[in-house]
């Protein structure tokens, strides 16, 4: 039951659309957009909930590709090269720790792997990639996605404050976001709040990290003996790289406009993510998966922060 559930359905739709317009027109920070979406979800509900997931997924991909027009290819390559070893080691550590934590907490094995995979690579996208290979059911998917969503929302809100408290540079903060926050949307949202350079670093490293969906999916398929299942390749990442190549070798003034619109698209995406929250979704998660998710999140956040402060 929503706080204002009795409102006229048409009025709910008008309020919802006005919020989207506000996010597009006014200088709304990404964390504020997320909070606004959560408030709408809890108060009146999302009148377009049946379209929310697809709209969020598509808008995020378009926005990320648009951000590529504001990033220099050579700078991105340098950032990605520096973060490669760090990426591999943290993915391996998270998957191992997730297996141990899942066993200790007696979390359903498939749900445990989904949470570990989502934490290690890129949240909901990684979960969606391996779920068909594992042949998971709807509840296992919902629990894993709910766990990741809740922690993502918290990270987006608190990471900029932690970064400022520790005096992290934009490069350090962007690297930390890409390693320690699950979903690309929250990574980019937190980094955008911190600064332009932080956004570029975070986006590049996170998308490099997201490419690990492919080998992890192949390994999972081999272990499960189900290689016949289709593996979801994140093609939009290659479009992001193409956008960087175009912007680097064929510089034009209107790329700045594309980049600006991509930033606005990201803000709307975060509003839609917040609007997709429901009390029922939180209730279905349960405490064991949440504890597993928190353990992994704290582990990767603390270790990566220490390493970044000392080396980056």
The one-digit pLDDT tens for each residue of the chain (312 residues) are: 556 667 788 899 999 999 999 999 998 887 788 889 888 988 888 899 888 888 887 888 888 888 889 878 887 777 667 667 778 888 899 999 999 999 999 999 999 999 999 898 887 778 877 877 787 776 787 788 778 888 888 888 899 999 999 999 999 999 999 999 988 888 988 998 899 899 988 988 888 888 788 788 778 877 766 555 566 667 777 888 899 899 999 888 888 899 899 889 988 988 888 888 766 666 666 788 989 999 999 999 999 999 999 886
- Residue 220's pLDDT is what? 80
Cα(274)–Cα(28) distance, integer angstroms: 14
SS3 content of the chain, % helix, strand, coil (to 5): 80, 0, 20
Question: What does R_g of the chain's alpha carbons equal in angstroms?
Answer: 19
Tokens of 83: 């973060």
> Given phi > 0 = left and psi -120 to 50 = alpha, else beta, which region is 234?
beta
Q: CB 27: neighbour CB atoms within 10 A? A: 8
Which residue bears the tokens 């175009």?
246
Q: Which residue has the tokens 């189900």?
A: 226
> Is the Cα torsion angle 197, 59, 11, 156 positive or negative in sign?
negative
- Please count the other Cβ atoms lying within 10 Å of the Cβ belonging to residue 137: 12
Give the pLDDT of residue 181: 92
**Can you give the pLDDT at residue 21?**
95
Supply angle C-alpha 132, 138, 144, rounded to 5: 80
């Amino acid at each position: 039951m929503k706080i204002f559930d009795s409102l006229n359905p048409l009025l709910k739709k008008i309020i919802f659309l006005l919020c989207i317009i506000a996010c597009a027109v006014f200088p709304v920070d990404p964390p504020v957009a997320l909070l606004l979406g959560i408030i709408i979800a809890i108060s009146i509900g999302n009148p377009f909930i049946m379209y929310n997931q697809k709209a969020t997924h598509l808008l995020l991909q378009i926005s990320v590709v648009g951000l590529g027009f504001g990033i220099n290819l050579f700078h991105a390559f340098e950032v990605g090269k520096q973060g490669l070893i760090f990426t591999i080691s943290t993915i391996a550590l998270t998957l191992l720790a997730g297996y141990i934590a899942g066993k200790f907490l007696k979390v359903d094995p498939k749900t445990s792997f989904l949470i570990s995979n989502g934490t290690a690579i890129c949240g909901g996208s990684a979960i969606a990639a391996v779920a068909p290979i594992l042949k998971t059911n709807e509840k296992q998917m919902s629990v894993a996605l709910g766990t990741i969503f809740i922690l993502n929302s918290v990270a987006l809100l608190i990471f900029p404050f932690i970064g400022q408290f520790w005096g992290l540079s934009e490069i350090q903060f962007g690297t930390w976001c890409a390693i320690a926050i699950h979903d690309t949307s929250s990574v980019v949202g937190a980094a955008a709040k911190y600064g332009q350079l932080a956004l570029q670093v975070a986006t590049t490293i996170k998308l490099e990290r997201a490419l690990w969906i492919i080998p992890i999916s192949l390994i999972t398929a081999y272990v499960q003996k189900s290689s016949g299942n289709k593996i979801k390749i994140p093609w939009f990442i290659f479009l992001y790289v193409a956008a960087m190549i175009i912007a680097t070798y064929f510089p034009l003034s209107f790329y700045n406009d594309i980049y600006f619109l991509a930033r606005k698209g990201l803000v709307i995406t975060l509003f839609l993510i917040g609007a997709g929250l429901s009390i029922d979704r939180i209730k279905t998660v349960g405490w064991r998966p949440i504890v597993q998710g928190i353990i992994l999140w704290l582990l990767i956040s603390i270790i990566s922060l220490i390493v970044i402060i000392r080396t980056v």
